[in-house]
Amino acid sequence: MSDSDHQASRTRVPMPIATLNDPHMGDAAKNPGRIEVLVALIFVVAIIALAGFGAAYWQNWSPWIIGGTMGAGLFLLGFGLTAWGKYLMPQGPFVEERHVLASSADERDSLAAALVERSAVVVKRRRVLGGLFALGSGIFGIVALFPLLRSLGPVPGNSFEVTDWRKGSLLVDSNGRPVHKDTMVPGGILTVYPKGQEANPSGQATDQTVLIRVQRTDFTTRPGRESWAPEGYVAYSKVCTHLGCPVGLYEQQLELLVCPCHQSMFNVRNGAQPQFGPAPRPLPQLPLAINSGGYLVAQGGYDQAVGPGFWERTTR
Amino acid sequence: MSAAPARTKRNAKAAQGPFGRVGNVVNELDDRLGVAKGGRVFLDKIFPDHWSFMLGEISLYSFVVIMVTGVFLSLYFVPSTNAVIYHGSYAPLRGQTMSEAYESTVRISLNVRGGLLVRQMHHWAADIFTGSIVVHMARIFFTGAFRKPRELNWTIGIIMLILAIFEGFIGYSLPDDLISGTGLRIGYSIAESIPVVGSYLTTFLWGGTFPGDIIIPRFYIIHVLIIPLILAGLIATHLGLLVRQKHTQFKGEGRTENNVVGSPMFPTFMAKTTGFLFMVAAASALLGAFAQINPIWQFGSYDPSKISYAVQPDWYMGWLDGALRIMPSWEFAGFGHTIPLEVFLPAVVFPGLIFNICFLWPALERRMTGDVALHNLLDRPRDRPKRTAAGASLFALLFTLFAASSTDVLANYFHVSLNVVLWFFRFATVIVPIIVAFVTYQLCVEMQGVHGIGKRKRALIVHRSSAGEYSTVTSDLRPDDERTELHPEPVPVRIDIEPLRAGSSAASESSPTGVRQVNR
Amino acid sequence: MTGVSSHTRRHGGLRFVLPGSLLAAAALGTLTLFFPGAGADGQTVSARVSHTSVPPKACGTVNLKGVSATPDSGNPFTSKNLTCRDGQIVSYGDSAITYTNPPSAYVAAGRQLFAQTCSSCHGNEANGVAPDGRASIGPNMQGVGAATVFFWVSTGRMPAADIKAVEAERRPTRLTTKDALELAAYVNSLDPAVPAVPTPNLSGADLSVGSDLFSLDCAACHTITGAGDALAFNTNAPSIQNRTVTAQQVAAAMRIGPANMPRFSGNLSDAQVRDVVAYVTEQIQHPANPGGAGLGGVGPVAEGFVALLIGVGGLALICFWIGERS
């Protein structure tokens, strides 16, 4: 049926009339006066609430009063309007016929025919031409995308691999103070950076290191690292090897560094080997030394990339 | 030649048609736009009345709230990572160096009149937005509304869900506070973990290594322009398809594949839906007024070496956080390269898999059931036990992962070891969905066998006669139930409702449509 | 009397030589604190730790394991306000924190209280040795210092409710603060140590420094809102939002590092510790929460529940009212 047919049938429906006992009217409409008064009352309270909202905003009362009055006012407005719609307006059930979505077979055929036949003109190699056009557009798309992507930022290079720690880098805390070997007692932890990087966010992100004093005498975390932990001070990269969160949670009796994000646990005694949780690799250890003034310095940089894994990472 | 009649009030009134000013407006509009024909059809559009069909409206209206509150916020927020020193009203931050983004957000929260309220409304509405999308999507799935001809709408819906999740994550990362900054660091590492292109993707997007100083401005424009534009277009398409294809409906009295039964667009549905818009806005306002969310001034500005415990992301990312926590620490390293599977699998491959299953589901179901017919009538979930079981199982998996993201909170609350809780979730993630699938399947099959299930039972009223004899009478249908068992009528031309005044005669011919003729 | 006076005259100067040179050494040693020394990288630093200062005899022998030697770090011998009496440290510290040992009069009462309450787990002499010679359940308490005993007892963690628990939990204590000080006095008398019981002076605290340090050093375990959370293997960081946590207890915890909490000695100065304590007792324990109900300060987990259950759930209920049900 077309639209005009529909409309004709609509206008031809006789004007229906009903009694109040008609089940379509619903309970509420049988006594609409009461509902009307109720809805009116709801609107009045809403107006009062919204006036309150205006006053609250004008007088700069606390957010909960501003929000509470606004919320109450809006809610009552909505509630009243919905109640009006639900109880006082015709509910039906009314029916509407669906148009058949699909067009007729003839219409479909004519569309398909136009598409196929109109393009099958004299040229025999339209596939080749079409293909070349598509190739050209595609190449344009890809080539045009490159400047957009490439200019967004630099190539990674070795930026993921290197930190600012060098041989002789002085360990400083977040206020830039160097760390003397008498600073901490066993069980202490301090976040340190190479001197100069403590206020630089990029430096903080890659260079951040936890310094822990485990005991008062030298100890070895792993074979080959005998000199790395002088007087019981041991330093590990603070960047978790799982997803890069700072591993700031130290449990001194368990001698465990725990990453707060996903609870990877690293054993401080044996080179921050992961004991639990999703971290795949130990935290890289920074080799420490104590300089002539008694201050802690690095013997060199980290022996591997810090932080999470990525495709180009080669060191184990 | 007669003079044109003077323009008096009476003449003007007489010149109006039988429908008064409204008729005039209609005429003027129709002269210019030709809207009368379509408008009349539009007013008669029928909307089925089932309550679950309104869940999508929660999403739509919370989106409206988000847009309006978002405009307010965008007038005050400064999307810049330039370092400034705080000299504002919150003492614990005074003198600290922070980004302008963070400083402007603190200012909005603590110094702009109504700012904190609007900020909280924006955030609550965003949580409600994503939540209602999921609930709405569940309704579509379990009733089979995604079948032909609505596969495209389903696809658009999934795209909108993905965009909403990203939009939320980007939105709460804009203030550059400690907790959301941690989330950005995690996002950076997840992007980094993608084989071959990961490190390039991260340096391109972040303009260098973490944290860089371009990510906040970039996220800002993505958050206020790019994604909202795409979302607005998709919402318009989504609703347009809904209008074109008409809404689905449950089976029932008078309902067929070829009609829609319900209440008319004007005035009933418009009143209800506008009222609902106000109520959704009110929900957002009341939550924003009474429940604090994301108090960034307590967290401090983001510093890459600082971290808080209990840093779960917002709920719609919780399933990913849970997946990351329970994943064993498998990392592939060889041939000169590393693939961090403990990141790549749960955070990239797994969500990709889930969303692809969602995208492909209509096609999968078509293939598995062989049903390629057009469907305008909905299934009861119990009538399709396999689909319902599969969907329930997927939800159970996602919910278990969501619970797994709060291992530390659960361990603290129940005084259980954190490690034990984590192992529990490693097993639960596999076992719970399997159990849910079986139980749901059984439930559906058994519910199908119960007669009259789902219908409200009619009470039996027990009468006792004076002789002591008991008899029962079935009570009347309740009005709502009554209404669904009425035979639907086409929408009439005129709908007037006038209550009977005492004493007036009722030209009462019982009519099924509940309207009364008004005699002028 | 001439013999006496000649004796006096002959040895008069010598009597002053020894204490005089000690004083000079002490003065020189103190002066070295202010001379820039060869620090790191050839650059000057404002203070150098003195290793040559000798504890005044009036303070007796003090076990210094618990503190670092840097100034302002709770070390009594770098403090300008050190007072000792009868071979005991009475108090020390600076304008930010005053460390006080309980009065020696408490020792006797403390001994009796210890015998009643603590010796069953810690041994009769608080040395971790049970009467039968084997190791007792509780560790050796000798040399832990007054602050440690004060912290564990005044927070109710000791006497332990469950000796099998991995970490003792805070609980309402049967013992009063005075009892805690008496026990501290007694235990300290067995092997005098530091730190003593700290009393932070919160006026003049810098909340900004406090919040900065809190987010760097404390939030990783206690969360940024101080709500506390579960840590590895059944350990936990307690909530410090709890208003029964006093300033003294916070300062003591920071300086002693109880259980698994790290020890902040020289890595934080007294002023910094005081600032953190002020931040905890003011902002953490009394958050302004202008946005409404704090939802426990647990963050997005609680917020998600509220949004889904109350927000979406409430609105779904409204849908239920508006629409039909069959």
Q: Looking at A201-205, B93-97, C98-102, which range is the least confident one?
A: A201-205
pLDDT of residue B207 exceeding 80: yes
- The CATH number covering residue A193 comes to 2.102.10.10
Do residues A227 and A256 both lie within one domain?
Answer: yes
- The CATH number covering residue C186 comes to 1.10.760.10
Do residues A179 and A250 both lie within one domain?
Answer: yes
Across the interface, which of B281, B311, B338 has its CB nearest the CB of A260?
B311
H helix or E strand, kind and range, residue C20:
helix C2-32
- Local structure of residue C50 (DSSP, 8 states): -
Model pLDDT for residues C206-242, shown as the tens digit of each residue: 999 999 999 999 999 999 999 999 999 989 999 999 9
Q: Which residues 188-227 of B have a C-beta within 8 angstroms of C?
A: none
Do residues A187 and A288 both lie within one domain?
Answer: yes
Residue C95 amino acid letter? S
Residue C203 in any domain: the answer is yes
Q: Give the number of domains in chain C.
A: 2
Residue C251 in any domain: the answer is yes
Model pLDDT for residues A38-48, shown as the tens digit of each residue: 999 999 999 99
Could you tell me if C202 lies within 8 Å of chain B, comparing CB atoms? no
Residue C59 in any domain: the answer is no
What are the tokens at B86? 């705080």
Residue C72 in any domain: the answer is no
Residue A306 in any domain: the answer is no
Do residues C138 and C246 both lie within one domain?
Answer: yes
Residue C61 in any domain: the answer is no
| Averaged pLDDT of chain B | 88
Do residues C254 and C146 both lie within one domain?
Answer: yes
Which residues on chain C are in Cβ contact (under 8 Å) with A250?
A: 262
pLDDT of residue A79 exceeding 70: yes
Ranges of each domain in chain B: 9-34
Characterize B110-140 residue by residue with b for buried, 16 or more Cβ atoms within 10 angstroms of its Cβ, and e for exposed: bebebbbbbbbbbbbbbbbbbbbbbbbbbbb
Q: What is the pLDDT of residue C326?
A: 65
Do residues A249 and A144 both lie within one domain?
Answer: no
Residue A28 in any domain: the answer is yes
Q: Which residues 120-159 of C have a C-beta within 8 angstroms of B?
A: none
Helix axes B315-326, B151-173, angle to 10 degrees: 80
Residue C100 in any domain: the answer is no
DSSP letters spanning C216-240: IIIHHHH-TTS--EE-GGG-EEPPS
Q: Assign B137 to helix, strand or coil.
A: helix
What ipTM does this complex have?
0.87
Do residues A72 and A47 both lie within one domain?
Answer: yes
Residue A164 in any domain: the answer is no
Could you tell me if C207 lies within 8 Å of chain B, comparing CB atoms? yes
Q: What is the pLDDT of residue B507?
A: 42
What are the tokens at B233? 């277009």
Which residues on chain C are in Cβ contact (under 8 Å) with B307?
A: 219-220
pLDDT of residue C177 exceeding 50: yes
Do residues C5 and C147 both lie within one domain?
Answer: no
pLDDT of residue B496 exceeding 80: no
Q: Return the residue matching tokens 């400064």.
A: B78
pLDDT of residue A12 exceeding 70: no
- How far, in Å, CA of A170 to CA of A298, rounded? 7
H helix or E strand, kind and range, residue A112:
helix A105-119
Do residues C49 and C152 both lie within one domain?
Answer: no
- How far, in Å, CA of C196 to CA of C100, rounded? 5
Torsion of Cα atoms, B116 then B119 then B125 then B130, to 10°: -140
Within C109-249, strands assigned E span 197-200, 229-230, 236-237
Do residues A184 and A238 both lie within one domain?
Answer: yes
pLDDT of residue B396 exceeding 50: yes
Q: What is the pLDDT of residue B252?
A: 80
Residue C79 in any domain: the answer is no
CB pairs under 8 A between A and B: 406
Model pLDDT for residues B502-515, shown as the tens digit of each residue: 444 444 433 333 44
Model pLDDT for residues B439-452, shown as the tens digit of each residue: 999 999 998 888 77
Do residues A79 and A114 both lie within one domain?
Answer: no
Could you tell me if B399 lies within 8 Å of chain C, comparing CB atoms? no
Q: What is the pLDDT of residue C17?
A: 52
| pTM for the structure as a whole | 0.87
Model pLDDT for residues B372-386, shown as the tens digit of each residue: 999 999 998 999 999
pLDDT of residue C16 exceeding 70: no
Could you tell me if C271 lies within 8 Å of chain B, comparing CB atoms? no
Higher pLDDT, A88 or B235: B235
Q: Best mutation site among A183, A265, A275 for testing chain C: the one with the most C CBs within 10 Å?
A: A183
Q: Assign B146 to helix, strand or coil.
A: coil
Which residues on chain B are in Cβ contact (under 8 Å) with C311?
A: 124, 127-128, 131, 283-284, 287
Q: Which residues pair with A170 in a beta bridge?
A: A297
pLDDT of residue A88 exceeding 90: no
Q: Looking at B235-239, C89-93, C197-201, which range is the least confident one?
A: C89-93
Do residues C145 and C50 both lie within one domain?
Answer: no
| Averaged pLDDT of chain C | 82
Q: Give the number of domains in chain A.
A: 3
Which residues on chain A are in Cβ contact (under 8 Å) with B497?
A: 25, 29, 32, 88-90
Q: Best mutation site among A172, A245, A251, A276 for testing chain C: the one with the most C CBs within 10 Å?
A: A251
Task: Give B175's contacts (C-beta < 8 A, 6+ positions apart).
Answer: B101, B102, B105, B294, B296
pLDDT of residue B160 exceeding 80: yes
Query: What residues make up the domain containing C19?
Result: 1-38+45-54
Do residues C143 and C278 both lie within one domain?
Answer: yes
A195/C41 CB distance under 8 A: yes
Residue C315 in any domain: the answer is no
Query: What residues make up the domain containing A40?
Result: 3-88
- How far A59 CA lies from chain C's nearest CA (Å)? 16
Phi-psi category of residue A113: left, alpha or beta, with phi > 0 → left and psi -120 to 50 → alpha: alpha
What sign does the CA torsion over C3, C4, C7, C8 have?
negative
Higher pLDDT, B296 or B500: B296
